[in-house]
Structure 1
Amino acid sequence: MSKTNANHAKGLLITAIGGMALTIDIPLIRLADGDPWSIVLLRSGTTFLAAIAIWMVWALIRKNPPTLVPGRAGLFVAALYGTASITFVMAVFNTSTANLVFILAFNTVFATLLGWLFLDERPRLATVVAMAFMLGGVSIIVLDSLGRGSLVGDLFAVASSVLLASAITVTRASGKDMGFAALVAFAAPAVLGLVMVSQVGFRVEQPLWVVLTGTVVLPLSFFCLATGPKYISGPEVAMFYLLETVLTPVWVWMIFAEVPTTASLIGGSILVMTLIAHSVWALGPGKEIPARAAG
Structure 2
Amino acid sequence: MSTSANNHVKGLVLTALGGLTLTVDIPLIRLAGGDNWTILFLRSGTTLVAALVVWAVWRSLSSKTPQLIPGKLGLVVAALYGIGSVAFITAVYNTSTANLVFILAFNTMFAALLSWIFLKERPRPATLMAMALMILGVLIIVWDSIGTGQMFGNLMAMTSALCIATAITISRASGREMGFTSLVGVVFPFIVAAVMVSKGGINITAPWWIIFNGAVIMPFSFFCLANGPKYLSSPEVAMFYLLETVLAPIWVWMIFAEVPSRNSLIGGTILIVTLVAHSLWQLHDGRRRRAALAVQYPV
Q: Scaled by the length of structure 1, what TM-score is found?
A: 0.96
What one-letter code is carried by the residue in structure 1 that aligns with 2:122?
Answer: R
Deviation at 1:201, TM superposition (A): 1.6
What one-letter code is carried by the residue in structure 1 that aligns with 2:233?
Answer: S
Q: Scaled by the length of structure 2, what TM-score is found?
A: 0.95
What one-letter code is carried by the residue in structure 2 that aligns with 1:286?
Answer: R
Identity %: 59
What are the within-5 Å matches in structure 2 for residues 1-295 of structure 1? Answer: 1-146=1-146, 148-284=148-284, 285-287=287-289
In 1, distance between residues paired with 2:139 and 2:243? 21
In 1, distance between residues paired with 2:120 and 2:196? 41
Deviation at 1:148, TM superposition (A): 4.7
Deviation at 1:232, TM superposition (A): 0.3
Distance 1:28 1:62, change over 3 A: same
Deviation at 1:204, TM superposition (A): 1.1
Deviation at 1:281, TM superposition (A): 0.2
What one-letter code is carried by the residue in structure 2 that aligns with 1:191?
Answer: I
What one-letter code is carried by the residue in structure 2 that aligns with 1:8?
Answer: H
1:232 counterpart SS class: coil
Point out the structure with max Rg over C-alpha.
2
Deviation at 1:59, TM superposition (A): 1.0
In 1, distance between residues paired with 2:43 and 2:290? 40
Give a deviation string over 1:128-169, Cα, whole Å, max 9, x none. Answer: 000000000000011122255310000000000000000000
In 2, distance between residues paired with 1:111 and 1:22? 19
Give a deviation string over 1:215-247, Cα, whole Å, max 9, x none. Answer: 100000100000000000000000001100000
Q: CA RMSD in A?
A: 1.0
Moved more, 240-249 or 143-152: 143-152
Give a deviation string over 1:237-283, Cα, whole Å, max 9, x none. Answer: 00001100000000000000000000000000000000000000001
In 2, distance between residues paired with 1:148 and 1:21? 32
What residue number does 2:294 align with?
none
* Number of residue pairs aligned between Structure 1 and Structure 2: 289
What one-letter code is carried by the residue in structure 1 that aligns with 2:31?
Answer: L
In 2, distance between residues paired with 1:141 and 1:188? 30
| Structure 1: 5+ residue stretches without partners | 290-295
Deviation at 1:61, TM superposition (A): 1.8
In 2, distance between residues paired with 1:73 and 1:144? 39
